[in-house]
Amino acid sequence: MELVTDVGVRVYPVGRLDMDSEGLLLFTNDGGFANIIMHPSFNKQKTYEVKAQGDAEKAAALLRAPIEIDGYTVKAVSIEIINKTEEGGTLLITISEGRNRQIRKMCGKCGLIVKSLKRISIGDIKLGSLESGCWRYLTNKEVESVGKGHFTCN
Protein backbone atom coordinates (compact mmCIF):
# COMPACT_ATOMS: atom_id res chain seq x y z
CA MET A 1 0.00 0.00 0.00
CA GLU A 2 2.90 2.36 0.65
CA LEU A 3 3.69 2.22 -3.07
CA VAL A 4 0.41 3.91 -4.01
CA THR A 5 0.14 6.66 -1.39
CA ASP A 6 0.56 9.32 -4.09
CA VAL A 7 -2.43 8.16 -6.20
CA GLY A 8 -4.71 10.86 -4.75
CA VAL A 9 -7.62 8.60 -3.73
CA ARG A 10 -7.99 5.66 -1.39
CA VAL A 11 -7.47 2.43 -3.32
CA TYR A 12 -7.50 -1.24 -2.40
CA PRO A 13 -5.52 -4.18 -3.79
CA VAL A 14 -7.34 -6.47 -6.20
CA GLY A 15 -6.16 -9.97 -5.32
CA ARG A 16 -2.73 -10.70 -3.91
CA LEU A 17 0.73 -12.02 -4.51
CA ASP A 18 2.51 -14.10 -1.90
CA MET A 19 5.57 -12.65 -0.16
CA ASP A 20 7.99 -14.56 -2.42
CA SER A 21 6.37 -13.43 -5.69
CA GLU A 22 6.50 -10.24 -7.70
CA GLY A 23 4.76 -8.65 -10.63
CA LEU A 24 1.47 -7.11 -11.63
CA LEU A 25 -0.84 -5.94 -8.86
CA LEU A 26 -4.00 -3.96 -9.51
CA PHE A 27 -5.47 -1.39 -7.12
CA THR A 28 -8.90 0.21 -7.39
CA ASN A 29 -11.58 2.14 -5.57
CA ASP A 30 -14.28 0.38 -7.64
CA GLY A 31 -15.76 -2.74 -6.02
CA GLY A 32 -17.38 -3.91 -9.26
CA PHE A 33 -14.05 -3.77 -11.08
CA ALA A 34 -12.37 -5.69 -8.25
CA ASN A 35 -15.08 -8.37 -8.29
CA ILE A 36 -14.74 -8.92 -12.04
CA ILE A 37 -10.97 -9.39 -11.67
CA MET A 38 -11.13 -11.67 -8.62
CA HIS A 39 -14.28 -13.77 -8.91
CA PRO A 40 -13.66 -17.11 -10.69
CA SER A 41 -16.98 -16.90 -12.56
CA PHE A 42 -15.54 -14.08 -14.72
CA ASN A 43 -12.65 -16.35 -15.82
CA LYS A 44 -9.98 -13.62 -15.85
CA GLN A 45 -6.76 -15.33 -16.87
CA LYS A 46 -3.53 -14.57 -15.04
CA THR A 47 -0.15 -15.36 -16.59
CA TYR A 48 3.00 -15.97 -14.58
CA GLU A 49 6.64 -16.24 -15.58
CA VAL A 50 8.07 -19.08 -13.52
CA LYS A 51 11.79 -19.80 -13.25
CA ALA A 52 12.17 -23.28 -11.84
CA GLN A 53 14.62 -26.04 -11.12
CA GLY A 54 13.79 -29.53 -12.39
CA ASP A 55 12.73 -31.23 -15.60
CA ALA A 56 10.75 -28.45 -17.32
CA GLU A 57 9.54 -30.63 -20.22
CA LYS A 58 8.22 -33.40 -17.98
CA ALA A 59 6.63 -30.88 -15.62
CA ALA A 60 5.00 -28.97 -18.49
CA ALA A 61 3.30 -32.17 -19.67
CA LEU A 62 2.03 -32.86 -16.14
CA LEU A 63 0.90 -29.25 -15.65
CA ARG A 64 -1.35 -29.51 -18.71
CA ALA A 65 -3.48 -32.13 -16.92
CA PRO A 66 -5.81 -31.53 -13.95
CA ILE A 67 -3.99 -31.53 -10.58
CA GLU A 68 -5.48 -31.87 -7.11
CA ILE A 69 -4.35 -29.23 -4.62
CA ASP A 70 -5.82 -28.76 -1.14
CA GLY A 71 -8.90 -30.76 -2.07
CA TYR A 72 -9.57 -28.85 -5.30
CA THR A 73 -8.89 -29.90 -8.86
CA VAL A 74 -7.07 -27.16 -10.78
CA LYS A 75 -5.76 -27.00 -14.32
CA ALA A 76 -3.57 -24.54 -16.14
CA VAL A 77 -5.16 -22.80 -19.12
CA SER A 78 -1.83 -22.92 -20.93
CA ILE A 79 1.81 -23.86 -20.36
CA GLU A 80 4.70 -22.66 -22.49
CA ILE A 81 8.40 -23.35 -21.98
CA ILE A 82 10.23 -20.18 -22.99
CA ASN A 83 13.72 -21.19 -21.88
CA LYS A 84 15.28 -24.53 -20.98
CA THR A 85 18.55 -25.07 -19.11
CA GLU A 86 20.31 -28.08 -17.62
CA GLU A 87 19.02 -27.07 -14.17
CA GLY A 88 15.43 -26.31 -15.20
CA GLY A 89 13.82 -23.59 -17.22
CA THR A 90 11.42 -20.71 -17.51
CA LEU A 91 7.75 -21.37 -18.11
CA LEU A 92 4.76 -19.17 -18.81
CA ILE A 93 1.83 -20.56 -16.85
CA THR A 94 -1.68 -19.17 -17.33
CA ILE A 95 -4.45 -19.95 -14.85
CA SER A 96 -8.01 -18.72 -14.51
CA GLU A 97 -8.38 -19.08 -10.75
CA GLY A 98 -6.10 -17.86 -8.02
CA ARG A 99 -6.00 -20.28 -5.12
CA ASN A 100 -3.47 -19.72 -2.36
CA ARG A 101 0.05 -20.34 -3.74
CA GLN A 102 -1.55 -22.26 -6.62
CA ILE A 103 1.34 -21.98 -9.10
CA ARG A 104 3.93 -22.99 -6.51
CA LYS A 105 1.84 -25.97 -5.41
CA MET A 106 1.14 -27.07 -8.99
CA CYS A 107 4.84 -26.89 -9.83
CA GLY A 108 5.77 -28.78 -6.66
CA LYS A 109 3.37 -31.60 -7.56
CA CYS A 110 5.06 -31.82 -10.97
CA GLY A 111 8.63 -32.00 -9.64
CA LEU A 112 9.66 -28.36 -10.05
CA ILE A 113 11.22 -26.12 -7.43
CA VAL A 114 10.13 -22.54 -8.08
CA LYS A 115 13.07 -20.14 -7.94
CA SER A 116 11.13 -17.02 -8.95
CA LEU A 117 7.53 -16.26 -9.81
CA LYS A 118 6.32 -13.10 -11.52
CA ARG A 119 2.75 -12.26 -12.57
CA ILE A 120 3.04 -10.65 -15.99
CA SER A 121 -0.63 -10.20 -16.96
CA ILE A 122 -4.22 -10.24 -15.78
CA GLY A 123 -6.55 -10.59 -18.74
CA ASP A 124 -5.49 -8.02 -21.32
CA ILE A 125 -3.58 -5.93 -18.75
CA LYS A 126 0.17 -6.48 -19.16
CA LEU A 127 2.95 -5.62 -16.73
CA GLY A 128 5.21 -4.73 -19.63
CA SER A 129 8.36 -2.84 -18.69
CA LEU A 130 6.96 -1.21 -15.55
CA GLU A 131 9.74 -1.18 -12.96
CA SER A 132 9.32 -2.86 -9.57
CA GLY A 133 7.81 -0.45 -7.05
CA CYS A 134 6.31 1.82 -9.73
CA TRP A 135 2.70 2.27 -10.77
CA ARG A 136 0.66 3.68 -13.62
CA TYR A 137 -2.99 4.31 -14.37
CA LEU A 138 -4.79 1.79 -16.57
CA THR A 139 -5.81 3.02 -19.98
CA ASN A 140 -9.51 3.25 -20.86
CA LYS A 141 -8.98 0.34 -23.25
CA GLU A 142 -7.54 -1.82 -20.42
CA VAL A 143 -10.42 -0.97 -18.07
CA GLU A 144 -12.97 -1.70 -20.79
CA SER A 145 -11.26 -5.03 -21.54
CA VAL A 146 -11.82 -6.09 -17.93
CA GLY A 147 -15.49 -5.11 -17.87
CA LYS A 148 -16.51 -6.34 -21.34
CA GLY A 149 -20.06 -5.04 -21.14
CA HIS A 150 -20.24 -4.62 -17.35
CA PHE A 151 -19.13 -0.96 -17.33
CA THR A 152 -17.35 1.62 -19.47
CA CYS A 153 -14.97 4.52 -18.91
CA ASN A 154 -15.81 8.21 -19.26
Q: Which residues are catalytic?
A: 18
Q: Is 70 exposed, middle or buried (0-12, 13-18, 19+ CB in 10 A)?
A: exposed
CA distance 102 to 133: 24
DSSP summary character for residue 131: P
CA distance 78 to 106: 13
CA distance 143 to 59: 35
